[in-house]
């Protein structure tokens, strides 16, 4: 498998600019994203998967339901974004919800008007009724959050990792790609007007003259603790590695060398080797303080599942793993029961509780599967009940 993966990656990346959508259409995308593991006849099945709208949990079952499709033709094409993914949500300082999306096109994947990142607003308060969009950043048409040309000499695209709100400022961590999923550097942008406009903070890792970029500090998620630290879980962007942890004083979030790695024997200084807080292979991470606990959700890239862990503190025992969304073959794809072909993401929507959790989940269709019907490159909202019961 490793030899085939390496060959596929070499063929997919060699000499050609590539977006996430294009990458996910290749054999390499199928392997990295779990599609090859789950999509063919006789493929290994995900562990503790959903069945009939329920998922396994310690001491019982979770109730998993599809609330609605959040993006796609007829839903977000009015914002010029029929094709998009991710949808990383956060609460804005003015009380709305903002969702930040990745590679986006007007009509279809690899189609017209490539933008990333873009964002939509919602004023939905009852998550069970489903997220409704109230507008886009940039006006009637969703605009790229800051201006740059795709496939320029330095990089191809910029993809969001996570968003955090600290008082009246929002911070967005992004990974700059050339080609996807190779990260050339990462950086932090900020907004002081609830996401309407964004400016560079000067905080970067991996660009010449800036602090070096750790291989495990490319895809970052963060949560704000009550102790005035921001806790970060991170991994390699391509989903081939385990997760490490840092913390940073919230007032130093844009100081790249203020991030302290967790070493199991204490908190070190930037550049010290960090210990793994969670072993395996992960992508699209989300860490949130919720109900007096810390909740981690993300893609288990080995089994193709969206999973969760509940911790007392960010550097505590991750405890058991819960399957929220199962990765299945396209022949078994049934999002209404939480069985999703080629899922990724799994970001917690503000307003969730452990017992009534709402997450955004993305899905793409790998054409190699030869599934009849229209393409799928979209975001869905799922509801998971009973995680804390």
Q: State yes or no: pLDDT of 219 exceeds 70.
A: yes
- pLDDT of 24 reads 60
Q: Is residue 327 part of a domain?
A: yes
Average pLDDT over residues 216-222: 97
Average pLDDT over residues 149-162: 97
Q: What's the CA gap between 249 and 254, in Å, rounded?
A: 10
Q: Is residue 107 part of a domain?
A: no
pLDDT tens track for 42-89: 222 222 333 336 665 544 589 999 999 999 999 999 999 999 999 999
Average pLDDT of every residue of the chain? 87
Residue 41: pLDDT band (50, 70, 90) is: very low
Residue 354: pLDDT band (50, 70, 90) is: very high
Q: Which residue has the higher pLDDT, 36 or 375?
A: 375
- pLDDT of 375 reads 79
Q: Is residue 143 part of a domain?
A: no
Q: Is residue 82 part of a domain?
A: no
pLDDT > 90: percent of the chain: 78
Please tell me the total count of domains within the chain: 1
Q: Is residue 360 part of a domain?
A: yes
Residues spanned by the domain of 238:
2-70+155-385
Q: Is residue 313 part of a domain?
A: yes
> What CATH number corresponds to the domain at position 186?
2.115.10
Q: Is residue 15 part of a domain?
A: yes
């Amino acid at each position: 498998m490793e030899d085939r993966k390496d060959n596929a990656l070499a063929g997919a990346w060699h000499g050609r600019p590539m977006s996430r959508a294009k990458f996910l259409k290749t054999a390499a995308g199928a392997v990295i994203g779990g599609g090859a593991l789950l999509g063919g006849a006789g493929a290994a099945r995900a562990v503790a998967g959903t069945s009939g709208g329920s998922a396994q949990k310690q001491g019982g079952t979770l109730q998993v339901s599809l609330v609605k499709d959040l993006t796609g033709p007829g839903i977000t094409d009015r914002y010029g974004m029929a094709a998009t993914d991710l949808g990383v949500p956060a609460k804005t300082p003015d009380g709305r919800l903002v969702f930040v999306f990745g590679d986006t096109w007007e009509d279809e994947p690899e189609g017209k008007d490539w933008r990333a990142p873009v964002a939509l607003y919602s004023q939905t308060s009852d998550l069970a009724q489903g997220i409704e969009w109230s507008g886009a950043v940039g006006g009637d048409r969703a605009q790229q959050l800051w201006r740059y040309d795709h496939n320029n000499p330095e990089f191809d695209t910029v993809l969001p990792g996570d968003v955090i709100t600290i008082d009246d400022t929002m911070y967005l961590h992004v990974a700059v790609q050339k080609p996807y999923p190779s990260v050339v550097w990462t950086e932090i942008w900020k907004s002081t007007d609830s996401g309407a406009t964004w400016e560079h903070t000067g905080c970067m890792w991996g660009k010449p003259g800036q602090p070096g970029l750790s291989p495990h500090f490319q895809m970052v998620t963060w949560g704000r603790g009550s102790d005035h630290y921001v806790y970060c879980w991170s991994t390699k962007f391509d989903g081939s590695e385990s997760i490490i942890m840092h913390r940073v004083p919230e007032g130093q979030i844009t100081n790249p060398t203020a991030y302290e790695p967790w070493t199991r024997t204490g908190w070190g200084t930037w550049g010290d080797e960090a210990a793994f807080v969670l072993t395996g292979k992960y992508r699209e991470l989300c860490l949130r303080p919720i109900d007096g606990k810390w909740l981690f959700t993300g893609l288990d890239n080995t089994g193709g599942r969206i999973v969760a862990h509940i911790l007392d503190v960010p550097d505590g025992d991750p405890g058991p793993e819960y399957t929220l969304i199962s990765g299945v073959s396209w022949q078994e794809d049934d999002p209404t029961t939480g069985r999703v072909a080629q899922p990724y993401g799994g970001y917690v929507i503000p307003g969730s509780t452990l017992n009534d959790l709402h997450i955004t989940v993305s899905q793409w269709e790998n054409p190699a599967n030869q599934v009849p019907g229209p393409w799928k490159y979209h975001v869905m909202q799922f509801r998971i009940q009973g995680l804390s019961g």
